[in-house]
Amino acid sequence: MNIKIAAEKTGLTKKAIKYYECEGLINPSKNSSNNYREYTDTDIVKLNLIGALRVIDIPVSEIKCLIEGNKSLPDIMKNTLNKITENISNLEKSRLIISNILNKNLEDYSTIGEQVRKLRETLEFSISEKKEFISTRLLKIFPGNFGKIFVNSYEPFLNITVDSDEKKDAWVKLVEFLDDLNEIDNTQPFIKLMNSIDVNKIEEYRQKSKEDILENFNNNIFIEKIKKQYVEFIRFMNKDKEKKKIFAKSVSQTMDMFNGLGVDENIFDEYLEILNEDYKQYRQIGKKFMSEIDEELKKEFGFTAKEFFENLKTTEN
What pLDDT does residue 16 have?
93
Cβ atoms within 10 Å, residue 8: 10
Residue 103 lies in a domain: no
Quick one: pLDDT band at residue 260, thresholds 50, 70, 90? low
Percent of the chain with pLDDT over 90: 27
Q: Is residue 179 part of a domain?
A: yes
Give pLDDT tens digits for 47-59.
999 999 999 989 9
Residue 160 confidence (pLDDT): 92
pLDDT, tens digit (0-9, with 9 covering 90-100), for 77-100: 999 999 998 888 888 888 888 887
CA distances from 133 to 90, 128, 292, 296, 301 (A): 21, 9, 36, 40, 44
In a domain, 107, yes or no: no
| Beta strands per DSSP E along 166-268 | none
Q: How far apart are CA 297 and CA 309, in angstroms?
A: 12
With respect to residue 248, please indicate whether it lies within any of the assigned structural domains.
yes
Phi-psi region of 111 (alpha: psi -120 to 50; beta: other; left: phi over 0): alpha
pTM of the entire structure?
0.68
* Interatomic CA distance for residues 209 and 199, integer angstroms: 15
**Per-residue exposure over 242-256, b if at least 16 CB sit within 10 Å of its own CB, e if not:** eebeebbeebbbbee
Residues 46 and 130 in one domain: no
> For residue range 269-308, what is the model confidence (pLDDT) as tens digits?
999 999 999 889 888 888 888 898 899 889 988 999 888 8
Q: Within a domain: residue 105?
A: no
Residue 110 lies in a domain: no
CATH code, domain with 13 = 1.10.1660.10
**Does 81 fall in a domain?**
no
For residues 154 and 263, state if they share a domain. Answer: yes
Q: Are residues 180 and 53 in the same domain?
A: no
Decide which of 27 and 256 is more confident: 27
Would the pLDDT of 7 be above 80? yes
Domain count for the chain, please give it. Answer: 2
Full residue range of the structural domain in which residue 23 is found: 3-71
Instruction: Answer yes or no: do 305 and 194 share one domain.
Output: yes
Q: Do residue 175 and residue 288 come from a single domain?
A: yes
Q: Same structural domain for residues 201 and 303?
A: yes
Tell me if 34 is assigned to some domain.
Answer: yes
69-94 burial, b if ≥16 CB within 10 A, otherwise e?
Answer: eeeeeeebeeebeeeeeeeeeeeebe
**pLDDT tens digits, 15-46:** 999 999 999 999 888 877 777 888 899 999 99
Identify whether residues 305 and 197 lie together within a single domain: yes
Is there a single domain that holds both residue 296 and residue 162? yes
